[in-house]
Structure formats: C-alpha cells, structure tokens
A and B are shown apart, each in its own frame.
Chain A
Amino acid sequence: MPKTIFEKIWDRHVVRTIEGGPSVLYIDKHLIHEVTSPQAFKGLENRGVEVFRPKQIVATADHNVPTINQHLPIKEELSRIQVQQLVDNCKKHHVELYGLGHPYQGIVHVIGPELGITQPGMTIVCGDSHTSTHGAFGAIAFGIGTSEVEMVMATQCLLQSKPKLMRINVDGDLHNGVLSKDIILYIIAQISASGATGYFVEYAGSAIRNLSMEGRMTICNMSIEMGARGGMIAPDETTFAYLKGRPFAPQGAEWDKKLDYWKTLYSDKDARFDKEINIDAANIEPMITYGTNPGMGIGVTGHIPAQNEIDEKEQPAYMKSLTYMGLQAGASIKGKKVDYVFIGSCTNSRIEDLRLVASFVKGRKKADHVEVWIVPGSKQVEQQAIEEGIDKVFEAAGFNLRQPGCSACLAMNEDKIPAGKYCISTSNRNFEGRQGPNARTLLASPLTAAAAAITGEVTDIRELI
C-alpha cells in the first residue's frame, strides 16, 4: 500500500496500539530545556522512577537566559533558580546538558539540527511547540506538555493518536527578496491560525525543494502557528549534505546504512492525504503581520482589511486586535514607523539568516530612533558570525549583536519590548504581550526586518535590493 513519509516513520515507531485508543509511540530523541522540565523531573522522583534512556535526552538552557554577560550569574532570582535546577537535574539523572558557557549552548531547535542530533526518520519531541522545526529533516517532531515530558523520561514513549495528514505544495519560483519566512506567513494567512489543527503537514513542491535546510526549518517551525501538530519535508541531497560531518551525525559504515534508510523516506506516488493545498510561489510577496495572531498577515504593499471585509461574527475580536496594535482597519502598513527590530528566535537566527542580513546592511546604517537586537540562535552561530566578520558589519550599522537565547521571542528574560512600542520581529508569535506586556509585534522575514532597521519604518525590501 502506498504510504506517506509520515506513515512510514510512524509505523516503524508504534510499540502497540490500544483498542479504540491511542498508539504507544517510541521516541528516538528527547530535547529538554529549563522551563518545561523541572516539574517532570520532580514528578519522576515522586514516583520513584529513574530516567529510562538518559542517553536519548539532550538538554540546553535557552528560554530564560540573559543575552548579555552570560558569564555572570543570572541577575533575576527566579530565572537563576530555574536554570540551576536544570543543571542539578541533568547531573542527577545523567542527562547531557549544553548549558550556559558550553560551546554547544543555544535555542533547543537550533542546536539539535546544527549538531546533527536531528536526523531523518526519527521521532523527536520537546516540551516546546516549535519542535516542529526538526521536521525539516524528514522526522516526526512535535511539541509536548510537561506531563508528556515526564512520560518520555519514564518510558521513552508517548500515547498518541494518529493525526490527519495534509500536504501543502508550493510550486514555482520565488520573487527576489521573498524568503521562506514569507512562504510560511503567506500559507498561514491563507488558511488561518487554526487552519491545520488536527493535521500533520508535509510541505512539498519545487519551491520547497529549492530551499536550503535553514529555509526549510523556518517553514516547519511555524507549522504550529496554523494549529498543525507538526510539519515535515522529505529528506533529499540538501538534507544529507547538511548533515554530513556534523558532530552527532552517523559516520562511516553507519552513515551508509542510515543513508540507505533515509532515501526511502518520501511519500509514495499514490499516498493518500486527508487534505491537499496548492500554492503558487509567484503569488507570494514579502509578508508582514498586523494583528495579534500569526494568521493576520498581508503582503507588505497590501492594506489591513477594512472592518467590512471581515466576517461579521469575527469583527469584535478583529477590532479589539487592531486596537491593541494601534492600527487602523483599511490602512496600508508600509511606512508604519517601528521602534525595535528583533532578529532572532528558533524561526530565524541561524547563520544563513545572519549572513543574509549582514550582506544587506553592509555599508548602511540603522535609523536613529530604532533599537536593533540581533540574537544568534546558538553559541556556534555566534562564533561563526564572529569568524566571518559579520559582527563588525552589525556594529558598523549600529546593530546590537547579543548572546544566544530565546530573548525577545517570548520576553521571559530581560529582553522585553516596552508597552506600546512597535517591534518588527523575525520570531513566530505576535500574540498580545508575547514580547512584553502591551508590546506590539509585527512578524516578518529577516530581510524585511533589516530593511525596517535601516529606514525606521515598514519597508518593501524589493525597493532596496
């Protein structure tokens, strides 16, 4: 029977299926961080159970860490305790930790791929919804809650019902200045913030194939923003080339054996999807969000929908959202003044993102009134940026290059956007208060964010390149 890539991986990992209920799914890799793991460790200890497969867990500190002076003790007490708790728990339970100060430290969804921990055909979970990022390698990867973190620690398994499957085909060539971030923002704007709830999504088509691994990760990363359980892309030569030689990628004969298996991971010709969506890449322009959920996005030259363009039932929530954002229904977004630019998060903080931004800003200077934060996704990205001289480019442009962490993506550390201020951000969520109480977030690609840093307002990047 023809199978989708999802089914091929899923079927291999089912330990048993409960009659009329979920399946017991075996998990290959479990990533943990300081925020959603402490209660799981504690739960395990309360039950008197040991971590079942500590070698299949990798930990890092990212959500709550400062992005300046990481060598000093964390100032904020609760954050310090939480990060320390992770150190203690990992030590006690023999879990490998890439914590503050470690050359591998970084955002959990950045370090997994860059270290070669993330591999095709795997099942990967983490107590974080953007675990979907790892699907870019052709893995089943999804976010879980803390009780589930405890389950995986206890048994390396989860109880899961098989989701429905959706395929999104993006074909054709992208316009100059349009990045993978624009593709995913466009898709979410098309199908809404709940358009893929209950589904696992496979992205396919020539425009996806042509993307680098970094670009693919950006797309899979935001699958959750349309409600999908996860997103994935079949592995190919781009995937294999990216993985080869990474610290935890297989080597020698093991590599060959794995490669043979990885090459079988694609959706068969007649495989069945519950839903299929086709998108023409030529229709996508640089995107930006104007509202308080990621589905509220438009092309940068477009206008914010007028009230009467919105379904009547949804008008009150729509107007509430615009009030929060301080924006007018029916107005255009281009030219809107911004106060902050944040280039970072597990969506867009990889070396490719930083390189692209640097190549655009080289020889340019930021607008006076704008504060620009560049937060690399990991220590390795930071190191590489310095080796390539990218840090100097940022410095000359007046950009502030910080140290790795989630930072203003969720504003759990000190990196908060002040109330009422506008931040053009390469992260993934524009929810109310996400970047700080009453902060106003406009989601966009790294290039669109960089353009705004230079001009001080929402800008069509195509006019500058």
Chain B
Amino acid sequence: MSKAIDKISSTAVPLNQENIDTDQIIPARFLKVTSRDGFGENLFRDWRYNSDNTPKKDFVLNNPTYHGKILVGGKNFGCGSSREHAAWAIKDAGFDVVVSSFFADIFKNNALNNFLLPVTVSDEFLEKIFAAIEKDPETVIAVDLATQTISLPADNDPAKAGSASEKFDINNYKKTCLLNGYDDIDYLLSIRGEIEKFEHTLI
C-alpha cells in the first residue's frame, strides 16, 4: 500500500491561503465510503467545482499551468476535522509532499501515516516558494528526506546563493519509518508483550 519516501523533485501546485481546513480538502458528504481509495477525485471539491459539477476555471487545481507532486499551502494547513480522508485525498490526487509554514497536529500525523511528507518551512521560505512558482510555474522544488532539506533551484544572483534551501524538522523515528516504508502498527505490534506487562501496572 504505502511506499518509502526519499528524494522528491517536482514542480509544485501553489495554494496560497491560510487556515485551509480539512472540510475544504474533502467535504463531509464524501466521507460515506468505507474504503481508502478514490478520494482524490473530490479533493477540494467545492473550490474546484461549481454546484453543477463544471470546473471552476480560476481554481489552481484546474489550471494546467500548475502541476506536480508537491502541494504548497498557507499557514495552519489541515486544521479542523481529524478526518484522515484529507490526507488520503491529497495522496490519491498524486501528491507526495505538502509544504506549509505550519501544519495542524492531527493532519500532520495523518499525512505521515500515509507516506505523505509534511514539510514545515519558515514563513520567509514559504513566501520565497510562492514567489518562485508565480514567476515560473515550471520551478522544480527538491525535497530530500535523508538530509532534511528543501531547495529551490539555485539563484543566478550570487548574492542570494545559498538562501534557496532550508532544513526542515522531522523526528528521527518517523524519518526512519518513511525512509524504509515501515509503519507504526508494525512497530507497536512488535512490542505487544511489553504492552501487556505494562497493563498490570495500571490501577
């Protein structure tokens, strides 16, 4: 099902808006299915389509100029409902990385559990990414999990060189999981014996 993540280089889709909540990412009325598949179709449904199901021309996902495996969103991405369907929908629509300057906690965990890499950058770097994509939609962003870096193509202006890359945080355990394609359940199942012992210590 899930697969390891290492290096991803791709153009990106910019969604320059703060507080994008999971109700927008996938509206509740699409949560009735009992499988994990096919949610990509309804990703950002009400931003993407009119009520008569015709695409809204001005929405970025309907604009062929922007494409790629990286979704770049504004601050506080994924707030609101805990629905993991939001992470499934983004992954299902072909994204491997989401970049923002701030992720809501539950969304971040859900993304990690689905091998969708949430990359948290500084506000300044986020603006730089949006500006670069606006200038050239074919800008390729490189994400390297092993070195925990995200980079824009080197700037021609030597005065600015070196500023086009930033380190991002991820805890070591999760990093190992993502690099190797392990998931938390495998790990937890491997210590079930210890958990059973622990239960006796609780009142």
Q: How far is the CA of A163 from the CA of B109 in the complex (A)?
A: 13
Rounded to whole angstroms, the CA-CA distance of A63 and B85 in the bound complex is: 15
**Residue A255 at the chain B interface, CB threshold 8 Å:** no
A91 to chain B, nearest CB (A): 16
With contacts A82-B34, A314-B18 taken as known, whether A197 is within 8 angstroms of B104 at the C-beta atoms is yes
Q: Is the CB of A194 within 8 A of B84?
A: no
Is the pair A229, B184 in contact by a Cβ cutoff of 8 Å?
no
Give the distance to chain A from B84, nearest Cβ to Cβ, in Å.
Answer: 4
Which of A18, A42, A155, A432 meets B24, CB within 8 Å?
A: A432
A36 to B85, alpha carbons, bound, how many Å?
A: 9
Distance A458 CA – B192 CA, assembled complex (angstroms)? 55
Using Cβ atoms and an 8 Å threshold, which residues of chain A touch B27? 433, 437
Stretch at the interface among B4-12, B148-156, B158-166, B169-177: B169-177
* A18 B19 Cβ-Cβ under 8 A: no
Query: Are A193's CB and B32's CB within 8 A?
Result: no
Chain A residues with CB under 8 Å of B202's CB are 12-13, 26, 28
B134 near A: Cβ within 8 Å? no
Instruction: Judge if B195 is at the interface, Cβ distance under 8 Å.
Output: yes
Residue from B19, B106, B188 in contact with A144 in the complex, judged by beta carbons closer than 8 Å: B106
Total cross-chain contacts (CB, 8 A): 186
Cross-chain contact A81 with B34 (CB below 8 angstroms): yes
CA A18 – CA B192 in complex, angstroms? 15
Give A128 to B106 CA distance when docked, in angstroms.
10
B188 and A24 form a contact (CB under 8 A): yes
What is the 8 Å Cβ interface bit string for chain B, positions 35-76, against chain A (1 contact, 0 not)? 110000000001000010000000000000000000000111
A386 to B35, CA, bound (A): 39
Contact A431 B80 (CB under 8 A): yes
* Interfacial chain B residues near A227, Cβ < 8 Å: 76, 79, 104-105
Determine if A16 and B191 form an interchain contact, defined as CB atoms under 8 angstroms apart. Answer: yes
Residue of B nearest to A156 (CB): B195
B126 to chain A, nearest CB (A): 12
| B residues less than 8 Å from A465 (CB atoms) | none
A431 and B24 contact, Cβ closer than 8 Å, known pairs A36-B82, A151-B185: yes
Q: Which residues of B contact A161 (CB under 8 A)?
A: 171
Does the CB pair A15–B79 fall under 8 Å? no
Chain A CB within 8 A of B131 CB? no
The complex places the Cα of A26 from the Cα of B197 at a distance, in Å, of: 12
A36 to B86, CA, bound (A): 12
Inter-chain contact A194/B19, CB cutoff 8 Å:
yes
Size band of the B side of the interface? 35 or more
Report Cα–Cα, A128/B82, bound state, in Å: 5
Contacts of A257 in B (CB 8 A): 203
B17 within 8 A of A: yes
- Is the CB–CB distance between A129 and B106 below 8 Å? yes
> Do A431 and B171 have beta carbons less than 8 Å apart?
no
**Do A155 and B203 touch (CB < 8 A)?**
no
Are A20 and B173 in contact (CB-based, < 8 A)?
A: yes
Residues of A within 8 A of B187 (CB): 159
Given A79-B32, A128-B82: A155 touches B113 (CB 8 Å cut-off): no
Contact A78 B191 (CB under 8 A): no
- B146 at the binding interface (Cβ < 8 Å): no
What is the 8 Å Cβ interface bit string for chain B, positions 87-103, against chain A (1 contact, 0 not)?
10000000000000010
Give the shortest distance, in Å, between A230 (CB) and chain B (any CB): 10
Task: Name, among B21, B46, B74, the residue most crowded by chain A CB atoms within 10 Å (CB to CB).
Answer: B21
Which among A147, A156, A163, A258 has the highest number of chain B CB atoms within 10 Å?
A147
Shortest Cβ distance from residue A8 to the other chain B in the assembled complex, whole angstroms: 13
Kindly state whether residue A120 has any CB partner on chain B within 8 Å. no
Tell whether, in the assembled complex, residue B82 and residue A432 are in contact, meaning their CB atoms are under 8 Å apart: no
- Nearest neighbor of A149 in chain B, beta-carbon distance: B84
Whether a CB of chain A sits under 8 angstroms from the CB of B199 is: yes
Determine if A151 and B188 form an interchain contact, defined as CB atoms under 8 angstroms apart: yes
- A154 in contact (CB, < 8 A): yes
Of listed B105, B188, B194, B195, residue having the most chain A CB within 10 A: B105
- Interface assignment of A127: CB less than 8 Å from any CB of chain B: yes
Q: Which residues of A contact B173 (CB under 8 A)?
A: 18, 20-22, 159
A82 to B30, CA, bound (A): 12
The smallest beta-carbon distance between B142 and chain A, in angstroms, is 25
Contact status B195-A26, CB under 8 Å: yes
Asked, given contacts A145-B82, A257-B203, whether A317 binds B18 with beta carbons under 8 Å apart, the answer is yes
* In the complex, chain B residues whose CB is within 8 Å of the CB of A29: none
Q: Are A150 and B185 in contact (CB under 8 A)?
A: yes
User: In this complex, which of A18, A144, A194 has the most chain B Cβ atoms within 10 angstroms of its Cβ?
Assistant: A194
Q: Give the one of B82, B83, B183 with max A CB within 10 A.
A: B82
Contact yes or no, A429 B17, CB < 8 A? no
Residues of A within 8 A of B32 (CB): 35, 64, 76, 78-79, 81-82, 412
Does A319 count as interface, using CB distance less than 8 angstroms? Answer: no
Q: Hey, what's the 0/1 contact readout for A398-410 against B, CB within 8 Å counting as 1?
A: 0000000000001
Contact A146 B84 (CB under 8 A): yes
Of the candidates B36, B51, B74, B199, the one whose C-beta lies within 8 Å of that of A39 is B36
Q: B residues near A, CB below 8 A? A: 17-19, 21, 23-24, 27-29, 31-36, 46, 51, 74-76, 79-85, 87, 102, 104-106, 109-110, 113-114, 171-174, 183-185, 187-189, 191-192, 194-195, 198-199, 202-203
Known: A129-B82, A193-B76; 14 extra A-B contacts, CB below 8 A, are A20-B171, A21-B172, A21-B173, A22-B171, A26-B198, A52-B195, A144-B106, A147-B184, A148-B109, A150-B185, A155-B185, A194-B79, A258-B203, A432-B23
Between-chain CB contacts (< 8 Å), 13 pairs? A22-B173, A26-B199, A36-B82, A38-B35, A144-B109, A155-B195, A197-B104, A229-B106, A261-B203, A410-B28, A429-B81, A431-B21, A437-B27
The 7 closest A-B pairs by CB, nearest first: A21-B173, A145-B84, A38-B34, A145-B110, A78-B32, A147-B113, A194-B76
